[in-house]
Amino acid sequence: MLKTIAIVTLVVGNLAAVEPAYRHDLGYDTIDRGRVSRPLAAAWDAPAMAGRRYVLMRPASGAEVYLLIIQQAPGTARVEPFRTAGWNATELLVTDPDTLAGELADSPFEIIGPPRNLTAGENAPRAMQVLGPAGEPLYLTRFLPGASGLDLGRARTRVDRVFIAVVGGPDLDALRAFWGQVLGLPLTEYGQWPIHVLANAWNLPADTRFALAGAALPKDFMIELDDYPDAAMPRRRARGALPGGWAMVTFTTERLADLPVSWRSPPRRLREQPYDGRPAAVTVGPAGEWIEVIEAVPRQ
């Protein structure tokens, strides 16, 4: 029922510091800026976001997978990386994580996991992990031809589009049931994997293994479902506001009416980029992850 990832929304305390870092250090382009309109805030059922400043960015490749960065509402709780349930990381395709690590050494992006191969073999996917200027976790991953059977694509520019969004929570079975059975995405094999940045965040041994699974979209995108310690609680947010940090992921679908979920607010057509007159609505998953869906009808 879900087709692609269209937008990943990041809510930050200092928009003026975050936008230049993504532009200068990751090569993202700002294609729109302004203040969140009342209709858009109402569509999210987040009236406190109305009037908050935002920028809409996309990778230098021109891929239509956007990063929406919004100045947070007053009272938004500080987000500790990997310590709360919900959206916790965004994964971008890159061409060369080793070179990128050197380029980011003196940047606002803090390297928390140096480049390493994710599997065995000379063509293995290779990734690094950083914290962005607002403390947001980013995974930066390179795929070589034939290195993945998941059809996730490869970077066309130094830093390219989002291809995975990571949701974590203390009930992996609930996540698997929601993304697999309710939203109808095929689930990858369930397994136990070392996630060094997650172990470090919870003061656990570096070789601690965490249960995880993937929920695959038809092509180019995936949702990673991570099993967090029981102490991971839903993210506190200001009244009527989006959560802080990685707040929401927006998907496309053929028909909103086909999704068997409860919407926070009735679907409505939105004028802003990249909605462009298409209907959209928001629901919330079992780990507190905000999920927006845009109907993929012809743009008006």
**End-to-end CA, the chain:** 22
Please state the φ and ψ torsions of residue 47, each to the nearest 5 degrees: -60, -25
Domain ranges for the chain: 2-72+243-295, 84-227
Q: How far apart are CA 22 and CA 138, in angstroms?
A: 12
Round to whole Å and give the CA distance between 265 and 46.
10
Residue 151 pLDDT > 90, yes or no?
Answer: no
Q: Tell me if residue 165 falls in helix, strand or coil.
A: strand
Q: How large a percentage of the chain has pLDDT more than 70?
A: 96
The stretch 200-207 carries a mean pLDDT of 95
What pLDDT, on a 0 to 100 scale, did the predictor assign at position 158?
Answer: 97
Q: How far apart are CA 121 and CA 50, in angstroms?
A: 50
What's the whole-number mean pLDDT along residues 204-222?
95
User: Does 148 have pLDDT greater than 60?
Assistant: no
Tell me which residue of 229, 223, 232, 224 sits closest to 250, measured CA to CA.
Answer: 223
State the chain's mean pLDDT as an integer: 94
DSSP string, 21-44: HHHHHH--EEEEEEE--HHHHHHH
Is the pLDDT at 145 greater than 70? The verdict is: no
Phi, psi (degrees; rounded to nearest 5) at 93: -75, 135
Section 160-173 average pLDDT: 97
Provide the CA 106 distance to its chain's centre, in angstroms: 24
Q: β-strands 53-58, 66-71: how paired?
A: antiparallel
Q: What Rg value do the Cα atoms of the chain yield, rounded? A: 18
In terms of CATH architecture, what is 84-227? Roll (3.10)
Statement: residue 122 has pLDDT above 80: no
Q: What integer pLDDT is reported at residue 144 of this predicted model?
A: 77
Q: How many residues does the chain have?
A: 300
How many other CB atoms are found less than 10 A from the CB of residue 102?
Answer: 11
For 49, 76, 81, 85, the CA distances from 238, given in Å and listed in that order, are 10, 5, 18, 16
Distances (CA, A) of 260 to 6, 183, 188: 20, 8, 22
What is the reported pLDDT for 299? 47
CA dihedral sign of residues 184, 215, 293, 232: positive
pLDDT digits (tens, 9 = 90+) for 9-33: 999 999 999 999 999 999 999 999 9
- Model pLDDT, residue 117: 86
Confidence at residue 50, expressed as pLDDT on a 0 to 100 scale = 98
Average pLDDT over residues 264-273: 96
Report the half-sphere exposure of 171 (CA within 13 A, side-chain side): 12
Which pLDDT score is estimated for 300?
45
Rounded to an integer, the average pLDDT of 118-138 is: 88
Taking alpha carbons only, the member of 235, 227, 226, 232 closest to residue 290 is: 235
- DSSP character at residue 64: S
CATH class, 2-72+243-295 region: alpha beta
- Specify the pLDDT at position 143: 86
| Strands 279-284, 268-269: pairing kind | antiparallel
- Asked whether the beta carbons of 249 and 88 are under 8 A apart, the reply is no
pLDDT, one tens digit per residue, over 78-93 is 899 999 999 999 999 9
Question: With b meaning 16 or more CB within 10 Å and e meaning fewer, what string describes 118-136?
Answer: eeeeeebbbbbbbbbbbeb
Whether 176 has a pLDDT exceeding 90, the answer reads yes
pLDDT of 106 strictly over 80: yes
